[in-house]
Amino acid sequence: MKRYIKSAITPVEKEDYETKLSLAKDPSTGIDLLTMLYHSTPKGNYELLGAILDRTDIPVDWLIESARNKDSLHALSNPKMPIEYLKKYSHSDNYFERMAVAENPATPASILAEMASMHFDYNDKFVLRKIAENPNTPLSTIEELSKFDDEWIRINALRNPNATEEMHSIFKEEFHKESCLSIDISGDAVPAQIDMDNILKDICARYGIEFYGSYCENITQLYEDCGFPYTGNTVFQYNATMEFIFNKKLRSTITIEFDNALSNPDCYVECWEWSTADN
């Protein structure tokens, strides 16, 4: 990223968009420059404004102003947003605003519990999914959400870091097959199962987790059930273990390493999660 030099000739407003976005995301960018960026960002530029409003070193007034003007939902998910505004927007008839409050790491347990008891419309389920995975959500609310008909609400509740060991055992029993590594192979050079097994075992061993377990071949029906057209490629999947499910960073690392280790340009490894198949 090029260094921004404050001068009358090259104000930040005249910088290219990528430079502005990089400056907004750069934690070393000072408040004076952020102020220029914030006030020069056009209404409706949600990517740049969102990058600014994600920061915790900005004035609270910006968050309040943006929430009032409905400029960006990032303001409502910023942990610096005052509690009284989180309380206010938790009752919003706009479910996107309620979702932002529900995922805010600073939203108090009392507000989250109250939101879980509210009933607006069909879109409640999206808000409840966010409430279910928020670490501030009270255990009693998590337990209630873990019994909901909506599968994704139950999954997020059971995956909540505050869920009990008993709840985790239910999770393992009911949902351990709902996340997997899917290998989509477009060419004719399909790797042997034993070769893929050995590669994945080695990667898992380096991170001290169990091997994925059951290996499934030909998941055409899975594609069709999830509403995806089956392209005729060869598709395999490995079902996930608990460590894989609960550690997002580990999931990403293993997925990338497995893809790279196959050394086959016709192979594409993807981490399938519940949200992937959520229509």
Residues 176-231: pLDDT tens digits? 555 677 788 877 777 888 888 888 889 988 888 777 666 666 555 555 665 666 56
Share of the chain above pLDDT 70, in %: 80
pLDDT of residue 239: 74
- Of 46 and 140, the one with more pLDDT: 140
Is 163 within 8 Å of 146 (Cβ atoms)?
Answer: yes
Question: What digits encode the pLDDT tens for the residues 8-22?
Answer: 434 666 678 888 889
Residue reference for tokens 């999770």: 171
Question: What digits encode the pLDDT tens for the residues 118-147?
Answer: 887 888 999 999 999 999 999 999 999 988
Cα distances from 18 to residues 12, 48, 132, in angstroms, run 12, 9, 35
Query: Which among 235, 175, 239 is positioned nearest to 204, based on CA atoms?
Result: 239
Share of the chain above pLDDT 90, in %: 34
232: left (phi over 0), alpha (psi -120 to 50) or beta: left
